[in-house]
Amino acid sequence: MCNACGNPAAPGHWTEAGTVTPGDRLRARFHRIGVLRAILRPYGLTADDNGAVPGIQVGTLFGASVIVDTLSDVWAEAERLCGRPIDPLDPRYLGDDA
């Protein structure tokens, strides 16, 4: 843990399992941010991870942005920024009412 910023607070979040070398971790981060970006975009949110700054940056299209530690925090922050939870089982999301 870095004693200036306290990151990472816990060793290896579960979503980062299987990444052993720093190279693996970086590749996984870049890949993950691509997936996340595509999912958040329809909700008017952005996601960024440049590989250097720890954590994931979640923002709105108006420029508000926040850095969170893990994927679990991303969803809490996304819910706060867009005012409703992002629910993968939402019938609207599944296209049932289309």
Residues that bind another protein (CB under 8 A): 9-20, 24, 28, 31-32, 35-36, 38-39, 71-72, 74-76, 79, 85-90, 93-95
Smallest gap from Cβ 92 to another protein, in A, equals 12
Q: What value, to the nearest 5°, has the Cα angle with vertex 37 and ends 66 and 1?
A: 50
Element (H, E) at 93: helix 91-94
Its sign, for the CA torsion 44, 69, 92, 84, is negative
- Supply the minimum distance, in Å, between the C-beta of residue 94 and another protein: 6
Taking the least distance from each CB to another protein, the nearer of 63 and 81 is 81
